Amino acid sequence: MALPPHIAAAPVGPAASRLPVYALVGNPNCGKTTLFNALTGLKQKVGNYPGVTVEKKEGTTYSQHGQPITVIDLPGTYSLAARSPDEAVTRDVLLGRRADTPMPDRILCIVDATNLERNLYLVHQILDLGRPVIVVLNMMDLAVKAGLNLRIGRLEHELGVPVIPCEAVNQKGLIELRVAMSRLEIPLSRHAWDVPAKIAPAVAELQASLSSNDQKPPLIARAEALLLLTDRDSVRVSGSTPLHARTEDILRTWKKRWEGEGTDWAETLVKSRFAAIQRITNEVVQRAGETGPTKSDQIDAIVTHHVWGWFILGAILTVLFLSIFVLAEPPMNWIDDQFAAASDWIKAHMTDGDLRDLITDGAIAGVGGVVKFLPQILILFFFVGLLESTGYMARAAFLMDGLMGRVGLNGKSFIPLLSSYACAIPGIMATRTIESKRDRIVTILVAPLMSCSARLPVYLLMIAALLPAERVSLGAKAGIMIGMYALGTVAAFAFAWLFKRTLLKGEPPPMMMELPAYQRPSLKWVATHMLERAWSFLRQAGTVILGISIVLWFLSAYPKAPEGANASQQLAQSLAGKAGHALEPVIKPIGFDWQIGIGLISSFAAREVFVSTMGIVFNAESSDKEDTKPLREAMLAARWPDGRPLFTPLVCLTLMIFYVFAMQCASTLAVVKQETGGWKWPLFQTVYLTGTAWIVCFIVYQAGRALGF
């Protein structure tokens, strides 16, 4: 069922009133994001598609004449037959199903030159759409190293669209690509392939219905008809326009007929398409004889080894945690000094009173107590970005597949869980690549157990109080930190195992993941990634944390105690003190008093607020001393009414354990609600995590006291 030649050859140019909008599409790991960043630089807008938490990235590049061109970076997909919300959004944007995103004028298909046959499957589907398309052959340098000679002119002839060789990571081919994107007209592809005779009548009937009832242009209607017959279990997401009832009826009728005949219509179409792709690759790809194992294969033999691979992964994580202590200390001290100097300056130039206390003890102490941990958070995101940029992250997932399988998940769940070490929110959003809904929900439920960067300030403060000696070995501090991360990780696996055998029973799907070729890390991309996260953190510090710090100062300062009362008496009878006292009967069995209770309540907005809250609660003044020493000393001086120390080593350890388990992040709950489509799972998550935190802390604290600690 070939396309009529007169239709296929019709050139389509951009609307006269504006420059074209390009959509970037491609397989995962084809270098699409690198190319998007290379084209658009810092001129990017990042948000979410309305109704679904799939990231929406738009950027601006410039034509050869300096005119702006809008580029939309669509989520990576191997096929338009969607298996996850990410892939469903890509499909729906290209098919014009989303009212919030107009159908792009043109499409840039990014192709991994080292694996042309697999990548051409998506290109083949996109060419069915009858849209102006430019194919970008990325990673040409890796293809050459692999001994591949690609006949680019022949590929252009076979596909009937411009083909641009490119090395996005090395900034090669970008000028030629911009020139191609600047063309006023791009002829439609002469691409055609014969639909199997048994399927062709159904395609024709569905195409007619999609044109008349769903108001689709003829070529889009044909492409969607083929897609409806290829995709056995189509994923629909919020914002996706549903099919007309007549089209649905035609689809059901044909499927019922084929089922009766024993015809596997989807497999028939897929095999036919791959046969057409095979003919193209046979013409285009020439191999330079036997080249032996590639460099990536040689590296993989070590990093994915069942013994050495674990040593390498362990070494990487150890270096990460040691770096958080060693490299971050000087800039942390510098930031602490700046906030201390600002506080001292204000005290020297303002008269004593509530306004001065609000600025110094509320705003500066609150924000400064959190911002000082920015260097450690940047180090964490640098390592995560570096591992993603080099291609190692996929190997870590491959290595973990066997372990994940023991708890009922597959290796694809490891990447969201690993991302959750930085922040649970992007980790939870990354679960959209998991095909199984059960596995996706289980991964979402356990992701907050992976200690995120927001817990770092709490851990570091507690470690400083737990090990008050002036000279404590770096290994001891790092060991405690690794222990907290290990506890959360083990708990995540344990709960995943439990959920997969109770609430969300099901066998884990087999892991199918491409291992991308190793690449030189794109330091520009890693730096951009770090700066985005840093700005997000500072924006939160300047808004949420600042607001909470001011509110906490007010709640701890009012109503005023009788004249002559000390700071402890003032706090005890304040609004914050009353809230802490109300919570104390619940938390006293785990070693916490009403003052710690104030911190637990405030940190539900953001875990790192606990540090600034303790600074306000214990009236810890800023100083030019290093690290968290002033607050640490104030906490070590705190006492129960009977004179017992409040922050004993056992309490410090118990408090860290509480933060490992407790669900204290309103933003994470909001994302879970969006990802799962309701409040059922976020409410369950809050109850099971916080309940577990109390039970584990009760056991640890009471057992510790019984043993004499």
How far the first Cα of the chain sits from its last, in Å, is 80
Q: Quote the pLDDT of residue 403.
A: 73
Q: What tokens were used for 335?
A: 């930031």
pLDDT surpasses 70 at 544: no
Q: Is 507 among the domain residues?
A: yes
**Mean pLDDT across the stretch 645-660?**
89
pLDDT band (50, 70, 90) for residue 507: low
Residue 53 has pLDDT above 60, yes or no: no
Regarding predicted confidence, which is higher, 378 or 699? 699
Range of the domain at 589: 525-706
Helices first, then strands: H and E counts in the chain: 33, 11
What pLDDT sits at residue 18?
Answer: 60
Return the amino acid letter for 171. Answer: Q
Q: What is the mean pLDDT of residues 45-68?
A: 70
Whether residues 653 and 552 fall in one domain: yes
Q: Tell me the pLDDT band of 599, cut-offs 50, 70 and 90.
A: confident
pLDDT for res 12: 41
CB of 138 within 8 A of CB of 112? yes
Average pLDDT over residues 111-119: 88
Same domain, 437 and 554: no
Task: HSE, CB side, 13 Å, CA atoms: give it for residue 551.
Answer: 13
Name the residue with higher pLDDT: 169 or 155.
155
User: Of 523, 539, 557, which marks where a domain is finished?
Assistant: 523
- Is 303 within the bounds of a domain? no
pLDDT beyond 50 at 708: yes
Domain's final residue, options 292, 327, 349: 292
Total number of domains constituting the chain: 3
Whether residue 513 is contained in a domain is answered as yes
289 confidence band (pLDDT: 50, 70, 90):
low
Sequence-distant (6+) residues with CB within 8 A of 253 are none
Question: Torsion angle of alpha carbons 297, 298, 301, 304, nearest 10°?
Answer: -60
pLDDT tens for each residue of 600-610: 887 776 677 78
Higher pLDDT pick, 180 / 607: 180
Type of residue found at 566: N
Residue 468 banded pLDDT, cuts 50, 70, 90:
low
State the pLDDT at residue 508: 58
Question: Is 454 among the domain residues?
Answer: yes
Q: Does residue 366 lie within any of the structural domains?
A: no
433 pLDDT band, cuts 50/70/90, is low
453 plus 322 within the same structural domain = yes
Question: What integer pLDDT is reported at residue 546 of this predicted model?
Answer: 73
What is the pLDDT averaged over residues 297-315?
A: 83
CA dist 604 and 456 (Å) reads 15
Question: Do 349 and 482 belong to one domain?
Answer: yes
The mean pLDDT of the chain is 79
User: Is the pLDDT reported for residue 62 higher than 80?
Assistant: yes
pLDDT of residue 1: 38
pLDDT at 324: 67
pLDDT band, very low/low/confident/very high, at 239 (cuts 50, 70, 90): low
Chain position carrying tokens 């995590």: 689
33 and 108 belong to one structural domain: yes
pLDDT of 556-584, one tens digit each?
A: 778 887 776 666 667 677 787 888 889 89
* pTM above threshold 0.75: no
Other CB atoms within 10 A of residue 482 CB: 17
Confidence of residue 475 (pLDDT cuts 50, 70, 90): low
CB 588 within 8 A of CB 605: no
Same domain, residue pair 519 and 529: no
Co-location of 425 and 538 in the same domain: no
Indicate whether 112 pLDDT > 80: yes
DSSP 471-483: S--HHHHHHHHHH
**Amino acid making up residue 143:** A
10 Å Cβ neighbour count for 582? 12
Mean pLDDT of 194-223: 85
3-class DSSP state for residue 11? strand
Q: Label residue 13 by pLDDT band (50, 70, 90).
A: very low
How confident is the model over 26-36, as a mean pLDDT? Answer: 85
pLDDT of 89: 84
Q: In this predicted structure, what is the pLDDT of residue 489?
A: 87
Confidence at residue 44, expressed as pLDDT on a 0 to 100 scale: 63
Q: How far apart are CA 641 and CA 190, in angstroms?
A: 84
What does the pLDDT read at residue 194?
Answer: 78
Choose the weakest-confidence range: 260-274, 618-632, 658-672: 618-632
Is 607 or 24 the better-scoring residue by pLDDT?
A: 24
Q: Are residues 484 and 572 located together in one domain of the fold?
A: no
Interatomic CA distance for residues 38 and 174, integer angstroms: 8
Residue with more model confidence, 469 or 347: 347
Query: What pLDDT is stored for residue 294 in this prediction?
Result: 67
pLDDT at residue 3 tops 50: no
651 φ/ψ angles, rounded to the nearest 5 degrees: -70, -40
On whether the CB atoms of residues 481 and 455 are closer than 8 A, the answer is no
CA distances from 402 to 154, 197, 431, 515 (A): 43, 44, 19, 16
Contact assessment for residue 410 and residue 443, using Cβ atoms and an 8 Å cutoff: no
Mean pLDDT of 363-392: 75
Judge whether 394 lies within some domain: yes
Cis peptide before 426 (omega within 30 of 0): no
523-540 and 32-40 helices cross at what angle (nearest 10)?
80
How buried is 599 (Cβ within 10 angstroms: 0-12 exposed, 13-18 middle, 19+ buried)?
A: buried
| 531 and 434 assigned to the same domain | no
CA 515, 518, 519, 521: dihedral to nearest 10 degrees?
90
Which of residues 657 and 432 earns the better pLDDT score? 657
Is 80 exceeded by the pLDDT of residue 593?
yes
**Residue 510 domain-assigned (yes or no):** yes
Do 477 and 417 fall within a single domain?
yes
Among 7-16, 64-73, 459-468, which range has the highest average pLDDT? Answer: 64-73
Q: Does one domain contain both 580 and 616?
A: yes
pLDDT for res 688: 94
pLDDT at 620: 57
Both 410 and 505 in one domain: the answer is yes
pLDDT above 90: percentage of residues in the chain: 11
CA distances from 450 to 273, 423, 477, 586, 654 (A): 43, 9, 19, 25, 17
Residue 306 lies in a domain: no
Confidence of residue 11 (pLDDT cuts 50, 70, 90): very low
- Per-residue pLDDT band at 292 (split at 50, 70, 90): low
Indicate the residue among 465, 497, 523 that finishes a domain.
523
Contact (Cβ atoms closer than 8 angstroms) between residue 476 and residue 467: yes
pLDDT digits (tens, 9 = 90+) for 87-96: 888 888 888 8
3-state secondary structure 112-133: EHHHHHHHHHHHHHHHCCCCCE
209-219 pLDDT, tens digit per residue, is 888 888 888 88
The CATH number that applies at residue 91 is 3.40.50.300
